[in-house]
């Protein structure tokens, strides 16, 4: 599911996307085959564009125009783990940026968050999110 959000309402917007995807899959009796993901496709000071993704083993039917079927990202990437509130993600991304600079690594313009705990059912301070940084 494609979407855009501003930073102030980022978490709520992402959760609304997961709710929409979950509702569509539930209605069609399709179970996710993996963890929900957010792929950030562009960012700026005001906000970001993203793809909310849910892996499935069968294709859903009758998708709304803001949803499509695609492949999960692949390729070489660094993996970082964020634990805790989404409000503290800035600290994780700052640590990632510092690590990339220190190691002289160049990232692609995409970041991927894989939600290990279900963000719709987990207390926000108990979230576990893998952050993948694809490398150039």
Task: Return the pLDDT at 72.
Answer: 83
Task: Give me the domain span that covers residue 49.
Answer: 2-134
CATH code, domain carrying 57: 3.20.80.10
**Percent of the chain at pLDDT above 90?**
93
Phi-psi region of 104 (alpha: psi -120 to 50; beta: other; left: phi over 0): left
Number of domains in the chain: 1
Q: What is the pTM assigned to this prediction? A: 0.92
Residues 15 and 120 sit within 8 Å (Cβ to Cβ): yes
Kindly tell me if the per-residue pLDDT of 93 is higher than 90. Answer: yes
Contact 68, 3 (CB under 8 A): no
CB neighbour burial string for 18-54, b if at least 16 within 10 angstroms, e if fewer: bebbeebbeeeebeeeebbbbbeeeeeeebbebbbbb
Q: Alpha helices of 4-134 — where are they, by DSSP H? A: 10-27, 89-103
């Amino acid at each position: 599911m494609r979407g855009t959000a501003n930073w102030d309402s980022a978490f709520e917007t992402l959760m609304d996307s997961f709710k929409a995807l979950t509702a569509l899959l539930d209605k069609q009796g399709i179970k996710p085959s993996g963890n929900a993901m957010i792929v950030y496709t562009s960012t700026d000071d005001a906000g970001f564009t993203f793809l909310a993704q849910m892996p499935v083993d069968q294709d859903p039917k009758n998708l709304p125009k803001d949803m499509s079927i695609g492949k999960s990202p692949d390729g070489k990437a660094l993996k970082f783990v964020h634990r805790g509130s989404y409000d503290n993600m800035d600290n994780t991304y700052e640590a990632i940026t510092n690590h990339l600079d220190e190691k002289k690594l160049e990232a692609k313009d995409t970041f991927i968050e894989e939600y290990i705990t279900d963000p719709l059912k987990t207390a926000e301070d108990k979230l576990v999110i893998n952050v993948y940084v694809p490398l150039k």
